[in-house]
Structure 1
Amino acid sequence: MSNLQSLHQSLVSSVSKKDYETASKQLSQLKIALLQHNALIPSADVSADILVGSREVLEIGAIVSIHLGDESAFLRYYAQLQPFYASQALNKSPSKNKNKIVGLYLLLLLTKNNIADFHTTIENIPDVEQDVFLGYPVTLERWLMEGSYDKVWLATKGSRVPSEEYAMFSEVLVGTIRHEIASCSEKAYASLPVSNAKQLLFLDSEGAVIEFAAERNWEVRDGRIYFPQEEADKASLSSQSIINYAIGYAQELENIV
């Protein structure tokens, strides 16, 4: 028991210092120790104190995985946490981090456009929009459904983001939206002024537009972006039409309903 407490304290210390590489190694040691105590799955044979510690370790593991950019590890930790969140033995010691972890999972689902699992997850969560961590991805999903991508972009900035980890997933989400809009723009326009593309793609500067254009092999000259010509004629669509078309969240939601 003392070894578990020592390892746990060392893990918390590493995370507080943002030393996530060291924390990852400590997590591996802790999970082995917890396995030896049969504490990686809730059981009536294991004391509630140890199970609470196990739950916290797994929650820290999920957070560390995000900082290390390991999506698969985050999903594994999320799956391992579900029996702990459902355990009646832990009802007297509810997790302070559960909503944060679940909210991060919801945000990850949005980045994957996995709307079915998103709605399945929130189906049985009461007052989901009242919680800062759960309400954030739910609000983003509603704006995505409406095509209000400008609101999504603003919500990923600064103090509007619930935590540092949310900011990481939010950035991925904006990147997904940006590339979808870019793909639609290629089909809808022969060319666009760089200044217009900056607004359309939610980029901070015209220099960022030029860098983005280079990534997609767009030609930039005389202040305009020229898209690859796949068809002889391209329809001229308004910027709002492009944005509304960019991601099929609304259609996806209708299919689910």
Structure 2
Amino acid sequence: MAEHELKQIISQLEKPSNLQQAPKLLSRAKLGLLHLQALVPSSNTSPQHLLLATTVLEHGALLSIRLKDTEAFTRYYQQLQPFYSLPQGRWQRAGKPGNQSKVTGLYLLLLLSVGDYAGFHTVLEGLEMSSGKEQIEKDELIQYPVRLEQALMEGSYDKVWGETKGERVPSEEFAVFSEVLINTIRSEIASCSERAYPSLPISNAKNLLFLDSEGAVIQFAQARGWVAKDGRIYFPQQEAEMLAAEKDVMSSSNTVIENTLGYARKLETIV
């Protein structure tokens, strides 16, 4: 495949209407990079071909997010690392990759959404070493997941919720992972609520779980096996544990009563 054909494929990938065709276009583009010996950077790869390769791989990463294919996104992120680690001099006048911050910020957000805090800090520390801490602190696409991680560590779920809404989300790709992150937090809150309360008013559960309506609360409750009735959410697990505890208390009380009666009978016999 000639270089101009590869550029034509890239222009097609940039059209939003080609989302479903993107996997096939990306496969063709990667074959073209193989033909140009540019899919993996080497000392002989020209700056122009380096830029073509990173453009294709970055498109692949971002399109994977829009298709909600996190495994494919992770593969593209890993393929991009040899390009991102190249020294500035290798790019010359071709220009550096245009979406490095976005792809890296998205990967940090992915790590947060699956609870991989160790991996998150490893990537962040690597960025600070390679680019400098001051530069990273100025990069909004990196600072967005950093703010979310700080709020999570503080247990400030309301801050996380605020960051995932409206204009605070840097782009539509970030919104995909933000939704996953909120679902993870919602599940954690639900698990804690099951252990802490026998029941909750639906109105309170709506605020606690960051849901938009009481109808959404009822749907969420049904999915978790909770019972919604009379304006409240009842947690079957908690009720079962309470009934078991009451049964144990009654059993212990009966034993004490039987022992006391037996002792009294023995006293009567002695007398």
For the aligned pair, the TM-score class normalised by the smaller chain equals 0.7 to 0.9
The residue number in structure 2 matching 1:37 is 36
The residue number in structure 1 matching 2:174 is 166
The residue number in structure 2 matching 1:24 is 23
Q: Greater relative contact order: 1 or 2 (C-alpha under 8 angstroms, separation 6 or more)?
A: 1
The residue number in structure 1 matching 2:268 is none
Q: Which amino acid aligns with 2:39?
A: L
Is 1:184 the counterpart of 2:184 in the alignment? no
The residue number in structure 2 matching 1:95 is 97
Q: CA deviation at 1:24?
A: 1.4
Q: CA deviation at 1:44?
A: 1.9
For residues 181 and 4 of structure 2, the distance between their equivalents in structure 1, rounded to whole angstroms, comes to 37
8 Å Cα contact 2:9/2:29 also seen in 1: no
Q: CA deviation at 1:231?
A: 1.5
The residue number in structure 2 matching 1:250 is none
The residue number in structure 2 matching 1:146 is 154
The residue number in structure 2 matching 1:225 is 233
Q: Which amino acid aligns with 1:200?
A: L
Q: CA deviation at 1:120?
A: 0.6
| Structure 2 residue matching 1:21: 3-state secondary structure | coil
Q: Which amino acid aligns with 1:13?
A: Q
The residue number in structure 1 matching 2:58 is 59
For residues 8 and 26 of structure 1, the distance between their equivalents in structure 2, rounded to whole angstroms, comes to 11
Structure 1 gaps of 5+ residues are 235-257
Moved more, 83-92 or 225-234: 225-234
8 Å Cα contact 1:186/1:227 also seen in 2: yes
CA RMSD, aligned part only? 1.7
| Structure 1 residue matching 2:200: 3-state secondary structure | strand
Q: CA deviation at 1:43?
A: 1.2
Structure 2 matches for 1:197-236, cutoff 5 A?
197-229=205-237, 230-232=240-242
Q: Which amino acid aligns with 2:182?
A: V
Q: CA deviation at 1:51?
A: 1.2
8 Å Cα contact 1:11/1:23 also seen in 2: no
Relative to its length, the structure with more helix (as a share) is 2
Q: CA deviation at 1:87?
A: 1.4
The size of the alignment, in residue pairs, is: 233
Q: Deviations over 1:161-205 (max 9, x none)?
A: 000000000000000000110011111111000000001000111
Structure 2 gaps of 5+ residues are 245-271
Q: Deviations over 1:58-85 (max 9, x none)?
A: 0000001111111111011000000001
| Structure 2 residue matching 1:119: 3-state secondary structure | helix
Give the TM-score normalised by structure 1. 0.86
Q: Deviations over 1:76-129 (max 9, x none)?
A: 100000000111253433222101000000000000110001001111322323
8 Å Cα contact 1:8/1:57 also seen in 2: no
Larger radius of gyration: 2
| Structure 2 residue matching 1:123: 3-state secondary structure | helix
